Amino acid sequence: MKGLSTRVIAVVFTLAAGAANADSSTCDTVKMADPGWSDIAATNAVARVLLEGAGYQTKIDSLAVPIIYGGLKDGLVDAFLGNWMPAQQGFHDKFVASGEVDRLARNLEGTEFTLAVPEYVWEAGVKDFADLQKHAGEFDKKIYGIGSGAPANLSLQSIIDKNEFNLGGWKLVESSEQAMLAQVQRAVKRERFITFLGWTPHPMNVQLKMRYLTGGEKWFGSNGSVYTLTRKGYAQACPNVAKLLGNLTFTQAMENSIMAEVVDKKVSYDAAAKAWIKAHPELLDGWLQGVTTRSGGNALEAAKARL
């Protein structure tokens, strides 16, 4: 390139990078999924703000976890930002380890996901899974879970079916995240015993005085991680979108802040995510590194302009 100006050389390399990173026309709309969990609603919202800022359309469907994995396998879902591990180990083994679904990146570390109780129940002596049966009558032999088909529910049902911790006579109550937490709040007002699925990050950790039980590590693990999954071959078909999604990493403080904004101020997840990004623009450098707009432009500049 002897004789070319520095500016011309820069333009040539920018165009070349954009061509190498070009998505096919099938990538115009990014299809994501939400199992009805507040944390995934928050991370999906962040992804939506960035993708739409880069000129893409997004479509987020509310689907049960088994349907999401089936959708990834069949190419009906492009990306899922909620592969909680090891809670979803069974789905990972069936779809990811088998090569039918691709793991793109780890987006969150240090998660906790297991049975929890209100603090007054913990102080009354229920600190481990093994303590539940000792207070079976006070719990009415019920464990409150989330939506039907969720991996965590399957683990709890397995514990009951196998009579682990002598819980064979207990019942798993399945409902949405919101309905489960409403039940917990009603019990707390009356200081009744209740055990339920808890996890972090989530506003429940701030809204409720709660403790996590020990003893469930075999089923729920400890110090977990969350991964971003895509349909098979998506990174090759849509390298620019995949680069953006692969760059997305979150912190518990960030997710908790976005979720709290939604709960406390009654705003949408998109509005809360946009406000958080606007307040922390330094993260855009990492999230959009190596990413162009849909038309090959500067994604970082486009994102800042949109904010």
Q: What is the DSSP string of 198-248?
A: EEESSTHHHHS-EEEPBS-HHHH-SSEEEEEEEETTHHHH-HHHHHHHHH-
Domain 112-220 falls in which CATH fold? D-Maltodextrin-Binding Protein; domain 2 (3.40.190)
Q: How far apart are CA 282 and CA 245, in angstroms?
A: 17
**pLDDT computed for residue 229 by the predictor:** 98
Residue 50 has pLDDT above 60, yes or no: yes
Give the strand pairing for 101-118 and 196-200: antiparallel
**pLDDT computed for residue 21 by the predictor:** 57
Q: How far apart are CA 102 and CA 242, in angstroms?
A: 11
Q: State the Cα angle at 278 between 272 and 281, rounded to 5°.
A: 130
**pLDDT computed for residue 188 by the predictor:** 98
Residue 17 has pLDDT above 50, yes or no: no
- 215 with 117: CB under 8 angstroms? no
SS3 292: strand
Confidence grade of residue 22 (pLDDT, cut at 50, 70, 90): low
Residue type for position 201? P
> May I ask the CATH architecture of the domain 6-110+225-306?
3-Layer(aba) Sandwich (3.40)
Percent helix, strand, coil in the chain, to 5, is: 50, 20, 30
What token pair was written down for 144? 């409150």
Residue 292 has pLDDT above 60, yes or no: yes
What token pair was written down for 250? 């979150």
pTM (whole model) above 0.75: yes
SS3 26: helix
Q: Higher model confidence: residue 25 or residue 134?
A: 134
Q: If you average pLDDT over residues 59-82, what whole number do you get?
A: 97
Q: Higher model confidence: residue 186 or residue 12?
A: 186
Q: Where are the domains of the chain?
A: 6-110+225-306, 112-220
Residue 19 has pLDDT above 70, yes or no: no
Q: If you average pLDDT over residues 228-252, what whole number do you get?
A: 97
- 220 with 152: CB under 8 angstroms? yes
Q: How far apart are CA 230 and CA 81, in angstroms?
A: 9
Domain 6-110+225-306 shares a fold with domain 112-220: yes
Q: If you average pLDDT over residues 282-294, what whole number do you get?
A: 96
